[in-house]
Amino acid sequence: LAKTTQPISMDSYEGQEVNITCSHNNIATNDYITWYQQFPSQGPRFIIQGYKTKVTNEVASLFIPADRKSSTLSLPRVSLSDTAVYYCLVGDNGFGGSQGNLIFGKGTKLSVKP
């Protein structure tokens, strides 16, 4: 599975847009890019997933350049409740025979201040 690199921590203020970039230089053709959010003492929660270009849902956008070697999670107008750890993962979701196992790194700790 492709290894990912993302900043250890980021600070922001309420109402700002936050962009967290993840590098995955060894991403494979079958791999998807997935982001999870984790609050303290809770299990991670799925945020968004994409393969290429741009994906948007009700909570975030995911930008993936043509070479797919990086991706950027964009959180519009963050609030205090967005303070959490954000994980970037790549994997083939099980369609490539890996059983869809997820390899979590240390993630990016986002701190939103008032």
Partner 1 sequence: SQTIHQWPATLVQPVGSPLSLECTVEGTSNPNLYWYRQAAGRGLQLLFYSIGIDQISSEVPQNLSASRPQDRQFILSSKKLLLSDSGFYLCAWRGQGLSREQYFGPGTRLTVT
Looking at 19-27, 52-60, 72-80, 96-104, which segment touches partner 1 (CB under 8 A)? 96-104
User: Residue 108 interacts with partner 1 (CB under 8 A)?
Assistant: no
> Residue 88, Cβ neighbours under 10 Å: how many?
25
Minimum CB distance to partner 1 smaller for 65 or for 94: 94
Candidates 55, 83, 93, 96; binder of partner 1 (CB under 8 A) is 93
Shortest distance in whole angstroms from residue 16 CB to partner 1 = 26
Which 3 state secondary structure label does DSSP give 106? coil
First and final C-alpha spacing in the chain: 38
If you write DSSP's letter for every residue of 27-94 in order, what string do you get? --TT-EEEEEEE-TTS--EEEEEESSEEEE-SS-EEEE-TT-SEEEEEESS--GGG-EEEEEEEE-TT
- Cα 67 from Cα 61, distance rounded (Å): 18
> Binding to partner 1 (CB under 8 A): which residues in 8-37?
32, 34
Shortest distance in whole angstroms from residue 46 CB to partner 1 = 4
Candidates 7, 65, 76, 100; binder of partner 1 (CB under 8 A) is 100
Which residues here bind partner 1, judged by CB under 8 A? 32, 34, 41-46, 49, 87, 93-94, 99-107
